[in-house]
Structure 1
Amino acid sequence: MLITLLLIAVNCIVSFIAFNNARLMQDLILWPPAIEKKKEYHRLVTYGFIHADFYHLLFNMITLFFFGRAMEPKYTAYLGKTGFLLFYLGALVVSILPTYIANRHNERYRSLGASGAVSAVLFAFILVAPWARIGVFFVPMPAIVYAVLYVAYSIWMDRHGQDNVNHSAHLWGAAYGVAFTLVMKPDLVSHFLSELARPRF
C-alpha cells in the first residue's frame, strides 16, 4: 500500500500548507476560468490535493486509507507498481471534467478536495466486495446498500442541494472507478453478479 500512503502524505502536507497560505490555495484550486483562459491545466489535478478544512481532509484520508489499501494490490497486479497512482490521478481528472465544462465561464466557481478520486476507490471496492460491511458514521451496513444510498443522495443533492459540496464529482468519480476497473478486469462483471445473488447481511 505504498502508493496509498504516499497519496495520503501528499494530501496532508499540501492541505496543511494551504490552510495557512491563501496564495497557494488559489494557485491549486479548481477555478475554471484559469483553465479556460490561462491554460492552467494542472488545476484539473491539483485541486484534489487541497481541502476546505481539517475535517474535510480527515474524512477523505480515512476513506482512502481503508479502501486504498484493499484496492491498490489489484491495480498493481494488472498495471504495475504505478497502476494505482494512474487510476487515482485519472479519477481526479475525470470526476471534475463535467464540473469544469459546466462552469468554465463562471468567475465565481471554485472546487477542491479529493472526494471524486476517493469515491472512485470506494466504488471499485464495492464492485469487488459488494456485501462487505462498511461503517457509515459508525453504523455498519453492506457496501452495496451504501452504494445505492450514496448514489441516490448524491443525485438529489446535485440537483437540489445548496451545501457547497460538489456532488457531481462524487458521482462521476464513482462511475469512473467502476468503469476503469471493469475495463482492467472484465470478468468482475460475472463476479459482481454472482456476489449479488448471494446476499450476506
Structure 2
Amino acid sequence: MATYRASPGFFEVPHAAVYAVMTATVLVSGLCFIQAGGSQAPSELLFRYGGMYSTALARHEYWRLFAYGFLHVSFLHLATNMLCLVLWGGHLENRVGPAYFLIIYVCAMVFGAIAGNIIHSTPYLTVGASGATSGILGALLSLWILGKLDVGFDFFAINIGLNIAFAISSARIDWGVHLGGFAAGLIACALLDLVEKANAYVLRCKFPEVVKVDLALLAGAAVLFLWTGQAQALAPGAPGWVAAIGFAGAGCAVVKLIDLVLSIKKGLAVVILALACANAACVMLGGRALASAACIARQPGGLLPLDNLLDTFCANPLLVSGLVAAAAIAVTLLVCSRELHRGIADVGFVATSLRAERSRRDGL
C-alpha cells in the first residue's frame, strides 16, 4: 500500500492494531492466571475457556479456532509470544495497514489451528498466539519475495532462527500450529496483494484505513452470525451454503455501495455515520444472541467480575445492549473523528483524492 512502508531498520515501532491484539491477549491470559491463582493456568481451565483440542472441529466448536490464540499456559509462554508480536507486527502493520494486518493475523490463527488438528493423531490441547505470530513472519516473507519490503535477508535469518529457538526451548511446542500459521500468513498476504491489484479495476476509491478496519470487524461479526446459525432466522429452511452465498453477495454489494458513496461530495462523512449505525446494530444483534444463549439456565463461571457483568446483562439485556450500542456509536465517531471532520468539510477534493489514490495503486 502506497502510504505504508516498512523502514529498513531491524525494529519497527508497533501501531494501533498490534497494541489492540496485544492488549486483548494479555487481558484474556491474565484473567486465566488470576483465576488459577498463579503464573500458570491448568489444562482444565484452558480447555474450559477455549483451548483447541483433538475433536473440537468434529463437535462443531469452531469458536475455539479463535479463542485458543488468546490463551497461554504460563506467563513465560505469554511473554515469548508477545515479544514476537512486537518484533514482527510493527513491520507488517506499517506496511499493509491495520485492516490487512488483522485479517492476516486471524487467518494465521485459524489455519494454524486447523493444520495442527490435521497433523495430530493423538488427543491434545493447544493454546497460544504462536500460530498467529508465525503468520506475521510468513506475511513479511511474502512481501519480501514480492519485492515490497525493504529489509535484508538477515532479518529473516535472525527472526526465523529466533522463532525456532523459542520453539525448541519448549518440549511441548506444537509444530503443526507454527508451520500452518506461517504458511497461512504467507499465502494470505499474497492473496491480499492480488485483491489490491484487482481493486484498481473494480473499485473507484481508496478506502481510508478506519473504514477498512470497521468493515473487517463487521465482516467478522457477520461470519460469526452465520456460523452460530442466527442467519436461519432470516431465511428459515434455507441450506447453509445458500446463506453463505447470500452473505458474500451482500458483503460485495455493501463494499461497492461504500465505494460509490466515497466518490461523491461529503461521501466520507456519510460512510462514517453509516458505519457507526451499523456497529450499533451489530451490538444489538449480538446482545440478543447472547441473551438467548448465555442467560438461560447459565452456570457461574467462577470469575467474579465476569459473573457480575453477566448478571447485570441478564437482568435487563435490552437496556444494557442499548447502552453499549450507544457507546459503540460514540467510540466509532471518536476514533473516526479526523475522517468525519474531513468528510464534513469536503467540497469535492476528498472524493477526488480518494479516486486518485486508487488509480495509483499496484498491489499492497
| TM-score calculated relative to the size of structure 1 | 0.70
Stretches of structure 1 that go unaligned for 5 or more consecutive residues are: 133-141, 187-201
> Are positions 1:114 and 2:114 aligned together?
no
The corresponding residue for 1:145 is: 157
Equivalent in 31, 38, 42 of residue 17 of structure 1: 31
Q: Do the aligned partners of 2:24 and 2:70 also contact (CA within 8 Å) in 1? A: yes
* Partner AA of 1:131 in structure 2: G
Tell me the equivalent position of 1:95.
112
Q: Distance in 2 between matches of 1:116 and 1:2?
A: 21
Partner of 1:137: none
**3-state SS in 2 of match to 1:82:** helix
Distance 2:84 2:174 in 1: 17
State the distance in 2 between where 1:82 and 1:145 align.
Answer: 27
* 8 A Cα contact 2:17 2:101, kept in partner: yes
Q: Secondary structure at the match of 1:120?
A: helix
Work out which of the residue numbers 90, 94, 107 in structure 2 matches 1:73. 94
Q: Could you tell me which amino acid in structure 2 is paired with residue 85 of structure 1?
A: L
Residue type of the partner of 1:60?
Answer: N
Q: Residue type of the partner of 1:121? A: I
Q: CA deviation at 1:147?
A: 6.0
Match for residue 69 of structure 2? 48
After superposition, the Cα gap between the structure-2 partners of 1:6 and 1:162, relative to the gap in structure 1 and judged at 3 Å, is: closer
Looking at structure 2, the residues matched to 150 and 6 of structure 1 have their Cα atoms a distance apart, in angstroms, of 24
Matched, 1:3 2:17: yes
Q: Do residues 57 (structure 1) and 74 (structure 2) align? A: no
CA distance in 2 between partners of 1:148 and 1:47 (Å): 23
Once residues 70 and 18 of structure 1 are traced to their aligned partners in structure 2, the CA distance between those partners, rounded to angstroms, is 30
Structure 1 vs Structure 2: percent identity of aligned residues? 25
Matched, 1:29 2:51: yes
Instruction: Choose between structure 1 and 2 for higher RCO, CA contacts under 8 A separated by at least 6 residues.
Output: 1
What SS does the corresponding residue of 2:182 show, helix, strand or coil?
Answer: helix
Distance 1:143 1:83, change over 3 A: same
Aligned amino acid, residue 89 of structure 1: V
Return the offset for 1:109.
0.8
Indicate the residue corresponding to 1:190 in structure 2: none
- Structure of larger gyration radius: 2
Q: Which runs of 5+ in 2 are unaligned?
A: 1-14, 37-41, 195-364
Structure 1 runs of 4+ with >6 Å offset: none
Q: Deviations over 1:12-46 (max 9, x none)?
A: 01011122345652121001223312x11101111
CA pair 148-117 structure 1, distance change in 2 beyond 3 A: closer
Give 1:167 deviation, angstroms: 1.2
CA distance in 2, matches of 1:173, 1:33: 20
Contact 1:48 1:114 in 2 (8 A): yes
Change (3 A) 1:150 1:61: closer
The normalised TM-score by structure 2 is 0.41
Per the alignment, residue 174 of structure 1 pairs with 182
